[in-house]
């Protein structure tokens, strides 16, 4: 036991003394978050509009007119549900069509939006809605009374791109550390004969592997704490999750990717062989696991396949815990997905890993 701990400590020392390692594991992911956080990808593209229809058929007719407006991404729901989504920032505007509404009859409608946090979106949405209402009213007969819309301010959590991105980048760096970190360092240890020198001492290979994994898990916990901390303190991250649950997901993800890292170290003889293999595994996940962009925009088939990627499970899990405050039961699908992938990658590692 003592030797495992001493080896872990020594590996930690070696890791911390490598300046480039600190750079890649801590500073680089933060830099990506900050840089991408400043880039506005969507601007005012579409407006997420929730509609609460309490007016039956006349309301339905209005709804179809609203759906025809391409600026709106319309969803329909109960008032409670839509207001909750508005609070989370997943709706920009919620329109309530009250009982008794009929086009051409003076009724006041109400739209809710966060005027303070999203002034342009809320005001633009309100204007467009007013136009739709007017068209509906005047379509029947000219000279009828106008339906007026009032916009009521609501405080939303106003989630930003940073909230989407930071958990994703956190997951990405777990993948990079597991795959690149382990594969490269073990290939170097093999090539330079450092491992051979260890095997003439009484330590068991498992002692060394356990120490290497333990060291990386310690670094990982530090890294996750720093990223969430910096996010909350400096980047306005709306973190409402359970940190312990984030650690759990991070460790499961690390096990998956460490397994792949050891597998690669097993089948590669030099760093030149590691790099392309590691890229083949990581690049598709970087692009398609919902790290930088929401996967909902992907075509159905691609979305279904990428939903099975280990990085997708990790990023979705970390994101919903961090931002939506998901509970253990709510991220159970992600946890199960990671456990399955972990079993696969560790089985590969055991089969493929070679000391020589």
Give the residue, chosen from 155, 196, 269, 354, that forms a contact with another protein under the rule CB under 8 A.
196
Q: What string of DSSP letters covers 98-148?
A: -TT--TTS--EEEEEE-TTT-HHHHHHHHHHHHHHHHHHHHHH-TTPPPPE
Task: State which H helix or E strand residue 163 sits in.
Answer: helix 161-176
Q: Which stretch binds another protein (CB under 8 A): 1-9, 86-94, 289-297, 342-350?
A: 1-9
Give least dist CB 4 to another protein, A.
10
Is residue 283 close enough to count as binding another protein by CB under 8 A?
no
Closest to another protein by CB, 3 vs 339, is 3
**Selection from 91, 47, 88, 45 nearest residue 66 by Cα:** 47
What residues are paired with 153 via a beta bridge? 113
Give least dist CB 321 to another protein, A.
35
Q: How far is 225 from 42, CA to CA, in rounded Å?
A: 29
70, 95 Cβ separation under 8 angstroms: no
Total of residues contacting another protein (CB under 8 A): 20
Give least dist CB 187 to another protein, A.
14
Closest to another protein by CB, 19 vs 70, is 19
Is residue 70 close enough to count as binding another protein by CB under 8 A?
no
Q: Which stretch binds another protein (CB under 8 A): 165-173, 186-194, 234-242, 287-295?
A: 186-194
Give the residue, chosen from 68, 127, 194, 244, that forms a contact with another protein under the rule CB under 8 A.
194
Is residue 143 close enough to count as binding another protein by CB under 8 A?
no
Closest to another protein by CB, 41 vs 199, is 199
Contacts (Cβ under 8 Å, ≥6 apart) of 15: 21, 215, 219
Looking at residue 193, the DSSP 8-state letter turns out to be T
Q: Which stretch binds another protein (CB under 8 A): 143-151, 163-171, 189-197, 333-341?
A: 189-197
Looking at residues 199 to 238 of the shown chain, list those that interact with another protein (rule: CB under 8 A).
199-203
Indicate the Cα dihedral angle 288, 294, 295, 298, nearest 10°.
-90
Other CB atoms within 10 A of residue 178 CB: 26
Q: Which stretch binds another protein (CB under 8 A): 122-130, 156-164, 187-195, 324-332?
A: 187-195
What residues are paired with 48 via a beta bridge? 73
Q: For another protein, what does the binding mask look like between residues 5 and 24, x meaning CB under 8 A?
A: -xx--x--xx--xx------
Looking at residues 83 to 112 of the shown chain, list those that interact with another protein (rule: CB under 8 A).
none
Closest to another protein by CB, 43 vs 202, is 202
Indicate the Cα dihedral angle 36, 42, 44, 50, nearest 10°.
-120
Pairing status of strand 148-153 against strand 108-113: parallel
Is residue 192 close enough to count as binding another protein by CB under 8 A?
yes
Give the residue, chosen from 1, 2, 39, 233, that forms a contact with another protein under the rule CB under 8 A.
2
Q: How far is 165 from 168, CA to CA, in rounded Å?
A: 5
What residues are paired with 52 via a beta bridge? 96
Is residue 193 close enough to count as binding another protein by CB under 8 A?
yes
Give the residue, chosen from 197, 269, 351, 354, that forms a contact with another protein under the rule CB under 8 A.
197
113, 121 Cβ separation under 8 angstroms: yes
Closest to another protein by CB, 1 vs 39, is 1
By CB under 8 A, name the binding residues for another protein.
Answer: 2-3, 6-7, 10, 13-14, 17-18, 192-194, 196-203
């Amino acid at each position: 036991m003592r030797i495992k701990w001493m080896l872990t400590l020594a590996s930690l020392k070696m890791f911390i003394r490598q300046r480039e390692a600190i750079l890649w594991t801590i500073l680089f992911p933060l830099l990506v978050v900050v840089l991408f956080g400043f880039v506005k990808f969507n601007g005012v593209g579409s407006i997420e509009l929730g509609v609460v229809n309490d007016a039956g058929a006349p309301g339905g007719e209005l709804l179809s007119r609203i759906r025809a407006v391409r600026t709106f991404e319309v969803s329909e729901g109960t008032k409670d549900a839509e207001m909750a989504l508005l609070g989370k920032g997943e709706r920009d505007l919620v329109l309530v069509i009250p009982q008794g509404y009929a086009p051409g009859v003076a009724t006041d409608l109400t739209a809710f939006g966060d005027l303070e946090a999203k002034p342009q979106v809320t005001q633009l949405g309100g204007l467009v809605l007013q136009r739709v209402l007017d068209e509906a009213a005047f379509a029947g007969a000219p000279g009828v009374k106008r339906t007026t819309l009032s916009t009521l301010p609501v405080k939303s959590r106003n989630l930003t791109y940073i909230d989407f991105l930071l958990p994703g980048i956190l997951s990405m760096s777990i993948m990079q550390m597991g795959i690149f970190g382990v594969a490269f360092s073990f290939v170097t240890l093999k090539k330079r004969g450092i491992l051979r020198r260890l095997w003439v001492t009484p330590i068991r290979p498992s002692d060394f592997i356990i120490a290497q994994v333990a060291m990386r898990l310690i670094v990982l916990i530090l890294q996750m704490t720093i990223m969430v901390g910096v996010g909350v303190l400096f980047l306005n991250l709306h973190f409402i999750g359970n940190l312990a649950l984030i650690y759990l997901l991070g460790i499961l993800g690390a096990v998956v990717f460490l397994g792949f890292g050891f597998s690669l170290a097993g089948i590669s003889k030099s760093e030149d062989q590691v790099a392309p293999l590691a890229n083949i595994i990581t690049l598709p996940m970087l692009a398609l696991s919902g790290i930088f962009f929401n996967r909902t925009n992907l075509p159905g088939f691609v979305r279904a396949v990428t939903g099975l990627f280990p990085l997708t499970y990790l990023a979705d899990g970390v994101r919903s815990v961090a931002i939506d405050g998901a509970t253990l039961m709510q991220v159970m699908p992600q946890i199960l997905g990671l456990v399955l992938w972990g079993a696969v990658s560790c089985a590969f590692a055991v089969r493929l890993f070679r000391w020589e």
